[in-house]
Amino acid sequence: MKTRITELFGIEHPIIQGGMHFVGFAELAAAVSNAGGLGIITGLTQKTPELLANEIRRCREMTDKPFGVNLTFLPVVKAPDYPGYIRAIVEGGVKIVETAGNNPQKWLPGLHEAGVKVIHKCTSVRHSLKAEAIGCDAVSVDGFECGGHPGEDDIPNFILLPRAAEALKIPFVASGGMADGRSLVAALALGADGMNMGTRFIATKEAPVHEKVKQAIVAASELDTRLVMRPLRNTERVLTNAAVERLLEKERTLGADLKFEDIMAEVAGVYPRIMMDGDMEAGAWSCGMVAGLIHDVPTVQQLIDRIMAEADGLIRQRLAGFLTA
């Protein structure tokens, strides 16, 4: 399948594996790229630029296909060593970067000078237009359904994607609620050039997370996510568990007096305990509503092959069939 996204990134299928904290390691990124999609290493999961450089080398040993690095620009007082991370990306020969969080404008000239294509994650049309205006090569448009941070506008993809298609000139992919061939065909029909999957890729054989995490996603329905940190305007969609319900109770009880310190036990530093140790009650972890569409744990190759076969069948048979009536 050829779209503006496959052309831009030199990939076979318009499927991107988004950056995910303590999930986007070399094993998963390489598996996605080898299967014809675009694998992404999560930059800030690696605690130093040197560790990221090593992770890029590991990925390079596992695939000769294009892969990218996610770099999230956090609104924190003590920022990570972003110049060091970018140096590791450029010196590692990576040609695709997925940016997220704060405006990446100050980093774009250096990345573009090194021949790096930048796709920025956005949760609104206005942010997507800003990304286009500052020179991003593509955007990932995240609807309200998505795991992680859906923004504060609460616009689902059935509205957000056609609005993005109306407004943008650069290519964009749909993110949030993406799981299968139906998702891909729907995203293309709504104007996107491909799709970005997060939660669906966690439930694969190659995802380097604890088996309990994968089984939690398979067991979950579309009703099992919650929105946390909304009072702090840092909304995150997570899979419910005892820690999440405890966090929500604090939000209800404290109301306008809620501070980040009040919920630190449920959100700070919990990812290694969950993703690596399988401690499913340790805290809040990102998961999309799409969990309701995830029923198995295939290999990445099986998943992507299935998605593309399903998409091909939908386009050539079901949709084309409507036109012959």
What DSSP string runs through 77-120? Answer: SS---HHHHHHHHHHTT--EEEEEES--GGGHHHHHHTT-EEEE
User: Mind listing the pLDDT tens digit for each residue in 178-190?
Assistant: 999 999 999 999 9
In a domain, 228, yes or no: no
- Identify the CATH number of the domain in which residue 193 sits: 3.20.20.70
Rounded Cα distance, 235 and 109, in Å = 30
Number of C-beta neighbours around residue 192 at 10 A: 30
pLDDT range class, residue 51, cuts 50, 70, 90: very high
Above pLDDT 90, what percent of the chain?
Answer: 98
How high is the pLDDT of residue 78?
87
Domain hosting residue 49, numbered range: 4-204
In a domain, 82, yes or no: yes
In a domain, 166, yes or no: yes
In a domain, 267, yes or no: no
In a domain, 307, yes or no: no
Report the domain count for the chain.
Answer: 1
Q: Is the pLDDT of residue 247 over 70?
A: yes
Q: Is the pLDDT of residue 325 over 70?
A: no
In a domain, 269, yes or no: no
pLDDT range class, residue 98, cuts 50, 70, 90: very high
Decide: 292 and 303 in contact? Cβ < 8 Å: no
In a domain, 169, yes or no: yes
Q: Is the pLDDT of residue 55 over 90?
A: yes
In a domain, 232, yes or no: no
